[in-house]
Structure 1
Amino acid sequence: MAFVAALIVFPLAWTGYLSLTDAEGSVRAESEFVGFQNYVEVLSDTDRFWPAVARTVAFTGVALLFEVVLGMAIALLLWRPFKGEKWVRVAILMPLVATPVAVGMMWRLIFDPNIGLANQVLGWVGIGPQPWLAGQHSALPTTIFIDVWQWTPMVVLILLAGLTSLSDEPQEAALIDGASAWQRFRHVTLPLLMPTVIVAVLLRGIDALKTFDILYATKGRGGGSFHEVETLNVYAYGLSFDYNEYGLSSTVLILFFLIIIGSMWALTARKKGAQR
């Protein structure tokens, strides 16, 4: 416990200290204590910081919504035994095998506006080529699609585990009472499964908030030429490793950490309410 606490507390405390200094250029360079000046500067930055916050929220919210809905649908389909069930489960879990960087590079080639397979498929059905990752307004939705493609199987695993642990008696009683499939899902399955859904949302939501590798692998520095996919992670990375602004980047990371803690607290409180 002490070892784990040290791994968490020391980096967090050091980052908090750097956020109160004007550290730049090198981590070994002398720096001065500036108090909350960095926080004032970051929170008043309407060109990069707040748009990055909006993209982070949009990316997390939309990706999480699709992953939970699709994960629930797939988990319900896999809930009951059927022929070829094992092969279908293996196929669904395949996206989890590859690393996010490899997935990002693969989809970057698929969505290439000139030689990519995606535009070739659209051409077969008479639809013109799309910019996908190259477009200023289409890049963020495209990266959300990539994230949904890779991480929906994780939600499927969690929800499927929850479904298999449910008792069959409430389902059988509802069936005897004449409830339809939708009524059984809405009034029986979903309420019983809600604690598991909250766990899936909590785990996947926090992970989606921290997404970096897919975004950097597909768009590179700054989240693209117009910062079209620049989330808080990408923004903080650029401040640290592109501009060596360690004080400002630490400030962004501390604010981001507070956002994650707030999200965890809200979802945990919702989970406790669902369990009651």
Structure 2
Amino acid sequence: MAFVAVLIIFPLGWTLYLSLTDSRGSVRADSNFIGIQNYLDVLTDTDRFWPAVMRTGIFTGVALLFQVVLGMAIALLLWRPFKGEKWVRVAILLPLVATPVAVGMMWRLIFDPNIGMANQMLGWVGIGPQPWLAGQNTALATTIFIDIWQWTPMVVLILLAGLTSLSDEPQEAAMIDGASAWQRFRHVTLPLLMPTVIVAVLLRGIDALKTFDILYATKGRGGGSFNEVETLNVYAYGLSFDYNEYGRSSTVLILFFMLIIGVMWALTARRKKEEGRR
């Protein structure tokens, strides 16, 4: 209990306290208690806060959708034994070995508009160079692609573990009844696997919401010159370490924390509901 209090409750309580003050410049500097004024200012900020909320939602939703769909497809391919299975699994898991910052720097070089490999490969098929991370309209989509590339293997691991735990009897019964592969997946495999899918969505969704390393490694402070990839994490970091507005940044973090708790509660309730049906 003491360990949890020190590492979780105290920092959260201190952040909540700072969010109710006008603390800036230094956390040790004198500050005044201003109540919920920071919350009113942040919630009415349509220039930075709400666009950051929108980008956070887009980044999380799109990345999670592709990761679950691709993860399910790959897990189904790896479900049955085949020759060279171990080598394929090792290759698929390689993106998880590198740290997000290293991955971000690697893809930053690949997507460099001038010397990057991506534009060179497009040139081989007659397509002109693309701005990728440098473009105001393409940067967010490119960072989503990088996140999908690195974290889809994690979803594969979770779903593959769920698939291997399923009994073969329902599948065999469906085959005897003449069900096609798609019908077996839709009416047998997927319903039985749904609690595991929700666990994968819960773990990866919360992690995607908190993404910072890849975004900062590829676009730097502010999420780029036009804040094109500035999510709530990047926004709060900038308020704290670029502008030293600790009261305002703490407010953003508390609101972000409440958002994560809400998502966790919704997904956990859905998981319990699916387990009850099972």
TM-score of Structure 1 vs Structure 2, range by shorter chain: over 0.9
Question: What TM-score do the two structures reach when normalised by structure 2?
Answer: 0.99
Task: Report how far residue 6 of structure 1 moved.
Answer: 2.5
Distance (whole Å) between structure 1 residues aligned to residue 138 and residue 208 of structure 2: 19
* Paired residues for 1:143-162 under 5 Å: 143-162=143-162
Distance (whole Å) between structure 2 residues aligned to residue 5 and residue 110 of structure 1: 44
Q: Which amino acid is 1:178 matched to? A: G
Q: Which residue of 2 aligns with 1:29?
A: 29
Q: Which residue of 2 aligns with 1:183?
A: 183
Partner SS, residue 137 of structure 2: coil
Q: Which residue of 2 aligns with 1:249?
A: 249
Distance (whole Å) between structure 2 residues aligned to residue 70 and residue 262 of structure 1: 26
Q: Which residue of 2 aligns with 1:142?
A: 142
Task: Report how far residue 259 of structure 1 moved.
Answer: 0.2
Q: Deviations over 1:150-200 (max 9, x none)?
A: 000000000000000000000000000000000000000000000000000
Q: Which residue of 2 aligns with 1:101?
A: 101
2:123 is the counterpart of 1:123: yes
Task: Report how far residue 2 of structure 1 moved.
Answer: 2.7
Distance (whole Å) between structure 2 residues aligned to residue 169 and residue 128 of structure 1: 53
* Paired residues for 1:1-276 under 5 Å: 1-276=1-276
Q: Which amino acid is 1:133 matched to? A: L
Task: Report how far residue 4 of structure 1 moved.
Answer: 2.0
Task: Report how far residue 44 of structure 1 moved.
Answer: 0.5
Q: Which amino acid is 2:41 matched to? A: E
Distance (whole Å) between structure 1 residues aligned to residue 137 and residue 176 of structure 2: 51
Task: Report how far residue 80 of structure 1 moved.
Answer: 0.1
Q: Deviations over 1:73-118 (max 9, x none)?
A: 0000000000000000000000000000000000000000000000
Task: Report how far residue 27 of structure 1 moved.
Answer: 0.9
Query: How many equivalent pairs are there?
Result: 276
Task: Report how far residue 237 of structure 1 moved.
Answer: 0.1
Q: Which amino acid is 2:55 matched to? A: R
| Percent of aligned positions that are identical | 87
Question: What TM-score do the two structures reach when normalised by structure 1?
Answer: 1.00
Distance (whole Å) between structure 2 residues aligned to residue 213 and residue 47 of structure 1: 23
Task: Report how far residue 220 of structure 1 moved.
Answer: 0.1
Distance (whole Å) between structure 2 residues aligned to residue 197 and residue 6 of structure 1: 33
Distance (whole Å) between structure 2 residues aligned to residue 118 and residue 5 of structure 1: 48
Q: Which amino acid is 2:197 matched to? A: V
Distance (whole Å) between structure 1 residues aligned to residue 5 and residue 160 of structure 2: 33
Q: Deviations over 1:101-137 (max 9, x none)?
A: 0000000000000000000000001111000000001
Task: Report how far residue 51 of structure 1 moved.
Answer: 0.0
Distance (whole Å) between structure 2 residues aligned to residue 181 and residue 113 of structure 1: 44
Distance (whole Å) between structure 1 residues aligned to residue 210 and residue 223 of structure 2: 14
Task: Report how far residue 5 of structure 1 moved.
Answer: 3.2
Task: Report how far residue 207 of structure 1 moved.
Answer: 0.2
RMSD value over aligned CA atoms? Answer: 0.5
Q: Which amino acid is 2:14 matched to? A: W
